[in-house]
Amino acid sequence: MRPLGIEGAWVDTPRVFTDDRGRFHEWFKSDAFHEAVGHGFHFEQANCSRSVRGTLRGIHFATVPPGQAKYVTCVGGAVLDVVVDIRVGSPDFGKWEAVRLDDTTHRCVYLSEGLGHAFMALEDDSTVVYLCSQGYAPEREHGINPLDPALAIAWPAGLPPLLSEKDAAAPTLEEAERQGLLPSYEDCTAYRGSLVGGNWKLSQNGGRRQP
């Protein structure tokens, strides 16, 4: 795993083994993750989406704490995956970075709590799967318009974006900041710091505890 240009985001390019039967790769390894990020990754939910070419999903984020960290990969087709720094007070505020995820390189992107996430399908039937540190909670979920001209994300030219009504109606980054929806860099850093050294374990009754 190597860090992206936005603090709190990483990309992993796994080694892929191929033979006449097909391919194999390890798309998540807890020890490599911990070494790169500085803490483990406990996930509450795993999502899978299939999209037609041009589908644009995001920019999505969740209130911090606890936020929602994501570990994202593409298992069919290809997408342009985008991480956006929406943390008020961050030195990278308003910056974005794009990574192509596809079923050839099998790259994965990890974005920590407080970062915005979006992707565009570059092919029909593009299938994205991602692990989430927290389950879906509508009251904590928010969005920013991915076509915000101030962000100026370089979505592929000549590919008309297909947005949901909810994403198309989402506020711009400036509007979301005025509305008090954006997480603060300080809160995100503090929350991530609380995860360092933590070791999630299952208790006998099936609950979670962090020593």
Please report which residue ranges of 48-205 form alpha helices under DSSP H: 165-168, 173-178, 185-195
- By three-state DSSP, how is residue 197 classified? coil
> Catalytic residue among 60, 106, 117, 142, which?
60
> Which of 110, 130, 185, 191 is the catalytic position?
130
The answer to whether 172 touches 178, Cβ cutoff 8 Å, is no
CA distances from 127 to 122, 138, 154 (A): 11, 23, 21
Tell me the chain's radius of gyration from C-alpha atoms: 17
104-123 exposure pattern, b = at least 16 Cβ within 10 A, e = fewer: ebbbbbbbbbbbbbbbbbbb
Our answer to whether residue 130 is catalytic in this structure is: yes
Nearest Cα to Cα of residue 195 among 112, 72, 78? 112
Q: Is residue 60 annotated as part of the catalytic site, yes or no?
A: yes
Query: What are residue 55's DSSP bridge partners?
Result: 162
Judge contact between 83 and 114, C-beta under 8 A. no
User: Residue 4 is encoded by which pair of tokens?
Assistant: 């992206």
Q: Any idea which residues carry the catalytic annotation? A: 60, 130
